[in-house]
Amino acid sequence: MAEQRKRASKQPAKVDGRVRFPGISPRAYEHPADRGVMATMRAVPGLADILKTLSGIFPERGERLMALASCIRVGDKQYPQLEKIRQDCAAILDLPTVPNVFVHRDPYANAMTIGIDEPFILINTGLVEALDDDALRFVIGHEMGHVLSGHAVLRTLLIRLLSLQTTIAWVPAGALGLRAVIAALREWFRKAELTADRAGLLTVQDPKAALRAHVYLAGGIESEQIDIPSFLRQAEEYTQVEDIRDSIHKLRAVEGMTHPLAVVRAAQLQKWAASEDYRAILGGTYPKREDDTPQKDLGEDMSSAARSYKTAAEESTDPLTNLINTVGDQLAKAGSRLGGMFKQDNGSADGAPDGGKSGKN
């Protein structure tokens, strides 16, 4: 990460007391696994346009019209406090265009970013009613992180494929291939959510506010009834299971999810909040969009993604992951031994090393 950073101004500008990040590249805060996928999209000419075509850009107009007709559009005279938060978040991340925010009547605690050409944010009343201003700032900043990273293209594709899956489920081969693509997209989107959480933290610049949002999503209604150390220990207990049967249950549960599990997600963001990378960005040191070179950055970003998965596997205490690592190591060693034997056999057949025999009858 250090080699990617570019020095910004020594005295970072501020928005309402919070540090602003002029020209910040999403690569500054993207989760490595997410960055690898997005780097491929940015580096391959025309790929994003192809995916836009496949995902179907026309429904976006209808979705925007439905939001306009059935929700409250945030502005100076409608939800003015949310409008201030909207403008602040866009200014902190230096978004070229400020996405519209609509408040949708729904008790389910959720927010989402919709659209590719003109993304807009939909936030349910379940969150607006439950969260304080700083926690809402984290949520809106999270969604603006999706916008800046360009996640809408792949997310829209995932939604379209999930719809298509039911249509071709009767075709075994087609359903199997589609399921593999969907599983890969879901794995990517879970990492993209961690990316957006980091963007949300950069807009609120208060790890406790982000934690309040995660606690609420996990089931916390009254903060005085939640002990934060105990809450975060739940994530440790989840990751440190010792029975391989628990590992299989975890794998089955997560496979169909597009979002990380709430408690584990909270712990992941708090870990990043304590990192050198986060402190460096707050200090004004981060990659800038004007310096991004997709073709040159692709190899480094893909390597970073690979290192991220490798490190996670090595540090994991999950019994299934450890079993896979052990088997993988044994296979690698066996392959190395077989490779050495094959080279020796080839050497004999070519007539040199075994006592001068030539291989002729």
pLDDT > 90 in the chain, percent: 43
Q: Which of 228-242, 265-279, 318-332 has the lowest mean pLDDT?
A: 318-332
User: Which of 54, 260, 255, 252 lies closest to 164, judged by CA?
Assistant: 54
Query: Burial, 58: exposed, middle or buried (Cβ in 10 Å; 0-12, 13-18, 19+)?
Result: exposed
Q: What is the pLDDT of residues 190-235, one digit of tens each?
A: 888 999 999 999 999 999 999 999 999 999 988 889 999 999 999 8
Beta strands, E only, 38-86: 72-73
Please compute the mean of the pLDDT values over residues 153-159 and round it to a whole number. Answer: 70
List 123's β-bridge partners, or say none: 103, 111
Check residue 334 and give its pLDDT: 45
With bands split at pLDDT 50, 70 and 90, how would you rate the model's confidence at 48? low
CB 82 within 8 A of CB 104: no
Q: What is the pLDDT of residues 282-296, one digit of tens each?
A: 999 999 999 877 555
What is the C-alpha separation between 146 and 194, in angstroms, rounded?
10
Q: What is the pLDDT of residues 88-137, one digit of tens each?
A: 999 999 999 999 999 999 999 999 998 877 899 999 999 999 999 999 99
What is the C-alpha separation between 205 and 104, in angstroms, rounded?
26
What is the C-alpha separation between 8 and 233, in angstroms, rounded?
37
pLDDT at 17 over 80: yes
